[in-house]
């Protein structure tokens, strides 16, 4: 990833999802630092095939195409993207933005946005599509009772009419921070990426319930390891989890 190459940003009024558009229409071009941004996603996707809802011209929906060598710490890429998103939001003056493992951005108990990384190896190169969705000036109504948050409520100096200014400023912040986080992975500075993620995490130090297809895990979330796994201390010992839906049960405790 050549940090001296300018970002190539494609702006769309509407698309199915920015990740899907990047994969279907642009990934084969193999351009470095390509970004797809949409005013509205009609079929946005989250982790594990879930739908990601938005309201037209109310959020940041973008996907970034990257090509990384196989030896890079690819497993930490979702954490690096999450770090970049938090830093980009904080650069606007927002406070209270935290990360719920693995990569949900939260504020005030509600979900501000999320990250979806799609990728595959082609020989010695990893091609990744890094998707980010954030609620900026409005939030959709969900039927499952989940609480959503919007960024504008944490900022001074912006109104609902400032959507394009807010989105475009946030996008540039995000691309700058993403570039820095990926360079850290390429240079082998994985501990700095992990240290930032641990600092931003609202999951570590909490009693948690992890829901997985093979059953739930309950314990104390102790750490995130070099593979990006959540390390949970249970009554049976420590377990490292690659995937799962996290429910926060309480504050710091021990088993």
Mean pLDDT of 132-145: 77
Cα–Cα distance between 78 and 88 in angstroms, integer?
Answer: 15
pLDDT at 251: 65
Residues 106 and 232 in one domain: no
> What pLDDT score does 5 carry?
74
Residues 178 and 103 in one domain: yes
- Residue 161 in any domain: the answer is yes
- Range among 89-103, 136-150, 238-252 with highest mean pLDDT value: 89-103
Q: Please give the mean pLDDT across all residues of the chain.
A: 89
Mean pLDDT score, 11-40: 89
Higher pLDDT, 27 or 137: 137
Place 3 in a pLDDT band, splitting at 50, 70 and 90.
low
CATH label of the domain that carries residue 237 = 2.30.30.100
pLDDT tens digits, 188-208: 999 999 999 999 999 999 999
- The β-bridge partners of 120 are 127
Domain end marker among 200, 215, 234: 200
Q: How far is CA 55 from the centre of its chain?
A: 19
Token pair listed for 61? 């929906």
40 closest CA partner among 70, 16, 14: 14
Q: What percent of the chain has pLDDT above 70? A: 89
Task: Specify the pTM.
Answer: 0.91
Residues 165 and 44 in one domain: yes
What pLDDT does 71 receive? 84
Q: Which residues pair with 221 in a beta bridge?
A: 232
pLDDT tens track for 86-131: 999 999 999 899 999 988 999 988 999 999 999 988 888 999 999 9
Within this chain, do residues 195 and 233 fall inside the same structural domain, yes or no? no
- 129 and 44 in one domain? yes
Alpha-carbon distance of 142 to 151, in angstroms, equals 18
Q: Is the pLDDT of residue 254 over 50?
A: no
- The residue out of 178, 200, 222 marking a domain boundary is 200
pLDDT score recorded for residue 122: 83
Count: domains in the chain:
2
User: CA–CA separation, 64 vs 84, rounded Å?
Assistant: 12
């Amino acid at each position: 990833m050549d940090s001296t190459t300018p970002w190539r940003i494609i702006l769309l009024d509407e698309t199915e999802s920015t990740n899907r558009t990047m994969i279907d229409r642009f990934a084969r071009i193999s351009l470095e630092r390509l970004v797809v941004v949409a005013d509205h996603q009609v079929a946005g996707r989250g982790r594990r095939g879930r739908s990601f809802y938005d309201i037209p011209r109310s959020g940041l929906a973008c996907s970034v195409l990257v090509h990384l060598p196989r030896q890079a710490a690819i497993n930490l890429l979702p954490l690096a993207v999450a770090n970049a998103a938090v830093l980009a939001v904080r650069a606007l003056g927002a406070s209270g933005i935290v990360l719920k493992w693995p990569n949900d951005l939260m504020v005030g108990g509600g979900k501000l946005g999320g990250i979806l990384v799609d990728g595959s190896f082609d020989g010695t190169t990893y091609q990744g599509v890094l998707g980010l969705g954030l609620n900026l000036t409005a939030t959709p109504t969900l039927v499952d009772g989940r609480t959503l948050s919007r960024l504008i409520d944490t900022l001074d100096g912006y109104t609902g009419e400032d959507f394009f200014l807010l989105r475009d400023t946030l996008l540039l912040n995000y691309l700058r921070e993403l570039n820095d986080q990926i360079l850290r992975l390429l240079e082998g500075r994985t501990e700095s990426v992990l240290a930032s993620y641990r600092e931003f995490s609202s999951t570590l130090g909490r009693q948690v319930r992890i829901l997985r297809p093979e059953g739930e895990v309950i314990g104390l979330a102790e750490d995130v390891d070099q593979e990006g796994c959540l390390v949970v201390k249970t009554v049976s010992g420590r377990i490292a989890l690659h995937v799962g839906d996290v429910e926060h049960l309480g504050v710091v405790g021990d088993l």
